Structure 1
Amino acid sequence: MENDMFCYQCEQTVGGKGCTKVGVCGKMPDIANLQDLLIYQLKGMSFYGLELIKKGEKIDKKYISFIEDSLFSTLTNVNFDLDFFVNQLKKSKKYKNELKSKIANTIDESDIARYQLPDNKEEMLKDSKIAGIMYNENLDADIRSVRQTIIYCLKGISAYSHQARFINYHDDDVDNFYFEALSAVIDDSLSLENLIDVMIKAGKMSVKCMEVLDKANNELFQSPSPQKVNVKTKKGPFIVVSGHDLKDLEMLLEQTKDKGINVYTHGEMLPAHGYPSLNRYAHLVGNFGGAWQDQQKDFDNIPGCILMTTNCLMKPRDSYSDRIFTTSVVGWKNIKHIPKENDGTKDFSEIINKALELGGFKEDEVPQEILVGFGHKATLSHAEKIIKLVKEGKIKRFFVIGGCDGARPGRNYYTEFAKQLPDDCIILTLACGKYRFNKLDFGDIDGIPRLLDIGQCNDAYSAVRIALALADAFNCTVNDLPLSIILSWYEQKAVADLLALLSLDIKGIYLGPSLPAFLSPNVLQYLIDNFDIKPISTPEDDLKSIFRNS
């Protein structure tokens, strides 16, 4: 039926199988189906784009930016605005025809490339069924599984690359890989083994795009250093900035610096406090609330404004729908959107004026501080001491505990796991999964904090840099280190992070709280056999297994 949908790209999909009536995220069937059709169009664009790349031609970056923005907009909890997707689809038709016009008509076009998108929303919705994940009922389940895993990794890559491109950093190999990978998932001549190779290459591209973003952030905002962050509120008007995009935060800080407005980070924006170029603003006063899934409760009736720069956006309640603003590719119908000007700037005057009008908090809360800013450069500046403590037996093991948070029961596993670690273990954490335990006091080992917040989800790259440096110091591989990775996933950036780690041949990752519905039994078994992927069980049993085998 036209009102049906099928989506299983996130961890909280209904029944662990797929959302078919409405998304757990709040995505309605019409939006879900237009998102599918947009991905379908990107595949068609990539068919022609790849032909141009094979001929040695350079693809105009406007097409790459469009593919990137489109992929990002379909990532979980990013955009819920039907008009946005209609406009993107119309643009996709224009761009696909432009790419097609650049090559000779002698190539054997695929059905997806030949498809001509209608011009109105109603006809688009009728056509969208051909783009559904399950439309081809005869497709081999393992082929479908790997194809979807590649697409979800591309969505994660697009989020990171979009953030870097906004500050004028990009990588041509990553840009060209969009065309290669999207073409691969419609190429029926590719075997399962061929597609697995593409999937692993997607992991390598994920590493590369995280490296580009790391370079961009470290050069533009200066390398993070340890900073204390107040997690309580202060008196006065305020704006809460959520998401990941540090440039948006910087522009807002610059435009509010003389306005008497306090700025708080939220969710994945917390690591911003570690960057000197951002921390220098005195009115960046702290971090507000918990992880993304708590936002409806945290934002309920607050006397200030919220700016959503990237995911994760939940359906705004009426109590704050007049004070939440979106920007970039984020959107919700009837929610104010702040666009990017042609010169790359944004005018935040409307949200600033609204914050001043609302007046803010009436008094200061008693401060409570946590530590952030342990990126790879800051952490490795203590490498000599860390190595010494390992050799002396004072540090027995490192645990990377991080990833996406979510609302599904069972995520208290990560809290309990962290709390049950022996006092001679160091925790490296990243992404919003840290909110499960980042306000707990873990103490230190001879001055080295036991909890090191290394940043956002894209800072999985920092974890890799730290692990590689330790492996080099101990003259061993990463898999030989006293290191365990406990990964929580929710959406597609976590898929990109996981494939990035697998592409580096990192084995024995514990994955939870549940396994992805898009992994077929055979593909899951492949990952278990080749990378020793381990579904989480209980903190007690997993810790026993880790220490028994160490």
Structure 2
Amino acid sequence: MFCNQCEQTAKGIGCTIAGVCGKNEEVADLQDLLIHALQGLSLYAREGRKLGIVDEATDLFTLEAIFSTLTNVDFDPVRFVALIERAVELREAMKARVAAKGGATDFNQAPATFIPTGLATELAAQGKALNLLERLDADVNIRSLKQTVLFGLKGIAAYADHAAILGQKDPTVPAFCYEALTMLLSSDLTLEQGVAMVMKAGETNLRAMELLDAANTGTYGHPIPTAVPLGHRKNKCILITGHDLHDLELLLKQTEGKGIDIYTHGEMLPCHGYPELKKYPHFYGHFGTAWQNQQKEFPNFPGPILFTTNCIQKPRDDYKDRVFTNGLVGWPGVKHISDKDYSAVVKMALAMPGFTDDVDNGQVLVGFARNTVLGVADKVIEAIKAKAIRHFFLVGGCDGAKPGRDYFTRFVEQVPNDCMVLTLACGKFRFFDKQLGDIGGIPRLLDVGQCNDAYSAIQIAVALAKAFDCGVNDLPLSLVLSWYEQKAVAILLTLLYLGIKDIRLGPSLPAFISPAVLEFLVTTFGIKPVDTPEADLKAILG
């Protein structure tokens, strides 16, 4: 295997024996083979679109299948066998429809005629033989650009899949997926074309995040400022972690009136701010802090744990007997729920002790998405003009266990009192409970939401720029971002597509970025690796 798609890749180069994330070589090879199979499907799907053939079922499958290869989603080889076989079935069905309309079907690329061998071990051998990433291109810079598109594509698919679950779809998103997957097969891609595809990935991800924003707010209302307890109360309990609001809603409905409290973990924290979710009285609090503490936290939770969509990492043996997975998430030997019926989770929660006392560990505020922030835009603008607010820092992104992430905690702790901190995604757990006070009644630490709520942060920045009649890059705003996996890659590409400059990125730069591509990003967009909090604050504020 060779995998360098996440920030924690071995030695900053690539995982070659087993993934730092926990996936083994078999799963890695099956994921590569699934991408290969999807490339074959994409060849015919693109041709079909030229003939007016747009099949929504195929589009939705493609998004889900790409999403399944994102870091920390699915480690179950059996499920990848089914996805690979389905990709080939859909490829052949699309090929037949294209042929019936007189379209081209004589593609000579290997994915167009790939036949799966059947068993997981045999399919894994096929995937291993592909040497997928290293064979993308002989030119290291073209290969770097292709990898950037591929990894960004995985983030795009994740957001589009979430949005589709709540009914928000746009055929241009899967259309780009097909285009990008076939582009990876090109043997004569130029640097200019590669850069253009990277920018188009950013543009497409903006649309995917817009769809998800519309899905979440259209279904559950715009988030409002909400205090979330960090302690617990005496009662039975279930912990839910992941990203999918629909899964949380179903769990809340299925536990209503049963004497069970629901606690969030990770990126589920912002869900407490949605009116249609917070209306449930048993939706109580948040359990757990940062990503790297998951293995310590979860054994201490006295109830079952439900992982939804992409999550954090493979559960430890001493608590995986009370772990349930849902949707795409899967690990061998862990109970998986495929029909959204959480009765087994409820039954276990009632059988387990739950919390036997009340503990007050304080609270945190969530719900500062664009609707809330722009609702007090006049106060913000006036505070900027009066120099009560000197600067805004967006400090957010992914969390992870790799050393160096304490940078973000120390950075926020040293942000001057006349500056605001906006945050989003699970990177906020490095500092989300810091008491930073307020400026004119506006909290200095504003939780914008999940990683996809980068869309909200963008809308806030655009609105402020309009109010001051300037560009976003002219605002007193600096982005200090952490990254771990491919949704963060997709968001970064969106920011670059929008022309946002001088982003600080850490704790380390992507291993798949070649020196020449990095030089292009530095020269064109001013991307900088994080230094020390002291040095970066001095450089930004003077």
With the length of structure 1 as denominator, give the TM-score of the two structures. 0.96
1:369-380 matches, within 5 Å, as: 369-380=363-374
Check 1:260–1:541 CA distance in 2 against 1; reply closer, same or farther (3 A cut): same
Contact 2:230–2:360 (CA under 8 A) maintained in structure 1: no
Indicate the larger mover: 521-530 or 116-125: 116-125
| Residue 112 of structure 1, CA deviation | 2.5
Contact 2:142–2:189 (CA under 8 A) maintained in structure 1: no
Letter paired with 1:398:
F
* Residue 22 of structure 2 corresponds to residue 13 of structure 1: no
1:174-185 matches, within 5 Å, as: 174-185=173-184
Q: Distance in 2 between matches of 1:61 and 1:454?
A: 32
Indicate the larger mover: 111-120 or 152-161: 111-120
* One of 38, 46, 49 as aligned partner of 2:45: 49
* Residue 16 of structure 2 corresponds to residue 23 of structure 1: no
* Residue 82 of structure 2 corresponds to residue 83 of structure 1: no
Contact 2:481–2:506 (CA under 8 A) maintained in structure 1: yes
| Residue 110 of structure 1, CA deviation | 1.8
SS in structure 2 opposite 1:322? helix
| Residue 119 of structure 1, CA deviation | 2.4
Q: Distance in 1 between matches of 2:369 and 2:105?
A: 51
Letter paired with 1:10:
C
Indicate the larger mover: 102-111 or 80-89: 102-111
Q: Distance in 2 between matches of 1:329 and 1:108?
A: 31
How many corresponding residue pairs? Answer: 538
SS in structure 2 opposite 1:454? strand
User: Aligned residue for 2:315?
Assistant: 316
Contact 1:72–1:156 (CA under 8 A) maintained in structure 2: yes
| Residue 427 of structure 1, CA deviation | 0.5
* Residue 189 of structure 2 corresponds to residue 194 of structure 1: no
| Residue 120 of structure 1, CA deviation | 2.5
Q: Distance in 2 between matches of 1:239 and 1:181?
A: 40
User: Aligned residue for 1:359?
Assistant: 353
Contact 2:398–2:427 (CA under 8 A) maintained in structure 1: yes
| Residue 530 of structure 1, CA deviation | 0.9
1:325-404 matches, within 5 Å, as: 325-340=324-339, 346-404=340-398
Q: Distance in 2 between matches of 1:136 and 1:146?
A: 13
SS in structure 1 opposite 2:537? helix
1:232-311 matches, within 5 Å, as: 232-311=231-310
* Residue 416 of structure 2 corresponds to residue 422 of structure 1: yes
| Residue 301 of structure 1, CA deviation | 4.8
* One of 456, 479, 486 as aligned partner of 1:492: 486
Contact 1:52–1:58 (CA under 8 A) maintained in structure 2: yes
User: Aligned residue for 1:61?
Assistant: 56
Identity across aligned pairs (percent)?
A: 50
Q: Deviations over 1:405-433 (max 9, x none)?
A: 00011000000000101100000100000
1:201-220 matches, within 5 Å, as: 201-220=200-219
Q: Deviations over 1:155-176 (max 9, x none)?
A: 1011111111111111121121
Q: Distance in 2 between matches of 1:290 and 1:61?
A: 39
Q: Distance in 1 between matches of 2:306 and 2:186?
A: 41
Deviation above 6 Å: which 4+ runs of structure 1?
A: none
Q: Distance in 2 between matches of 1:33 and 1:513?
A: 28
Contact 1:253–1:281 (CA under 8 A) maintained in structure 2: yes
Contact 1:292–1:312 (CA under 8 A) maintained in structure 2: no
Indicate the larger mover: 184-193 or 142-151: 184-193
Q: Distance in 2 between matches of 1:137 and 1:506?
A: 29
- RMSD in angstroms over aligned alpha carbons? 1.3
SS in structure 2 opposite 1:41? helix
With the length of structure 2 as denominator, give the TM-score of the two structures. 0.97
Q: Distance in 2 between matches of 1:416 and 1:312?
A: 26
| Residue 59 of structure 1, CA deviation | 2.0
User: Aligned residue for 1:37?
Assistant: 33
Q: Distance in 2 between matches of 1:529 and 1:455?
A: 31
* Residue 499 of structure 2 corresponds to residue 470 of structure 1: no
